[in-house]
């Protein structure tokens, strides 16, 4: 089976709604990128959009934090694939012009983190920053035996990107869900 790095569709987003964090209530913006279940979440966290800059609400909503913000439509279509891999968190998406809320969106916190990066077959740089070693991966290679049972996950020690299976990708395409691009990664 093929696997992909999940990417927001910047190429076709001319009329897509793009959100900017407006009130995160002092929440660390990376908390939903770390792959951990979030025990304390404030349902009043909000993002704003300007309808003059985009009117189409996609299934994967682009935003200034790079969070996975999924539509309820998408959540329903992928529920059979993700099991307990995703924690859905409430969020307010507000129209800046008329102060109305765009309903039906949640932050998708991917909580399935696995040790699947094959460094020997990946292209990467390792450098130090403030006495901390930083791994910057240009081309990912994933271990087939580790990922074979997962449709969506993050990598141990590199939890910013999200990876999905071919089955997940096909499901997105079958239902014409919007806002997605997929970059195929090597599986060894």
Are 112 and 85 in contact, with CB atoms under 8 Å apart? yes
- Spans of all domains in the chain: 3-187
Q: Which residue, among 106, 110, 86, has the nearest Cα to 35 in the 3D structure?
A: 110
- Residue 133: band (very low, low, confident or very high) from pLDDT cuts 50, 70, 90: confident
Name, in order, each residue with C-beta under 8 angstroms of 59's C-beta and a sequence gap of 6 or more. 70, 71, 73, 74, 172, 177, 178, 179, 180
Cα separation, 119 vs 98, whole angstroms: 50
Cα separation, 175 vs 87, whole angstroms: 22
Asked whether the predicted pLDDT for residue 103 surpasses 90, the reply is yes
Asked whether the predicted pLDDT for residue 134 surpasses 90, the reply is no
Strands 92-95 and 46-49: parallel
Cα separation, 65 vs 160, whole angstroms: 11
Residue 129, both tokens: 């920053």
Asked whether the predicted pLDDT for residue 105 surpasses 90, the reply is yes
Q: What is the pLDDT of residues 8-43, one digit of tens each?
A: 999 999 999 999 999 998 899 999 999 999 999 999
Total residues belonging to the chain: 188
- Residue 157: band (very low, low, confident or very high) from pLDDT cuts 50, 70, 90: confident
Distances in Å between the Cα of 121 and the Cα atoms of 29, 55, 66, 68, 142 are 31, 42, 27, 28, 8
């Amino acid at each position: 089976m093929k696997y992909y790095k999940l990417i927001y569709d910047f190429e076709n987003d001319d009329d897509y709604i793009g959100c900017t964090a407006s009130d995160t209530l002092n929440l660390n913006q990376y908390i939903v990128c770390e792959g951990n279940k979030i025990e304390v979440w404030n349902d009043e966290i909000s993002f704003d959009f300007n309808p003059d800059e985009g009117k189409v609400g996609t299934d994967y909503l682009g935003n200034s934090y790079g969070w996975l913000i999924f539509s309820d439509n998408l959540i329903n279509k992928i529920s059979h694939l993700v099991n307990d891999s995703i924690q859905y968190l409430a969020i307010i998406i507000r129209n800046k012009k008329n102060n109305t809320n765009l309903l039906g969106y949640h932050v998708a916190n991917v909580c399935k983190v696995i040790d699947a990066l094959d460094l020997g077959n990946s292209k990467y740089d390792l450098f130090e920053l403030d006495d901390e070693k930083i791994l910057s991966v240009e081309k990912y290679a994933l271990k087939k035996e580790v990922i074979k049972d997962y449709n969506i996950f993050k990598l141990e020690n590199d939890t910013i990107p999200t990876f999905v299976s071919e089955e997940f990708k096909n499901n997105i395409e079958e239902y014409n869900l919007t806002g997605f691009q997929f970059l195929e990664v090597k599986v060894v």
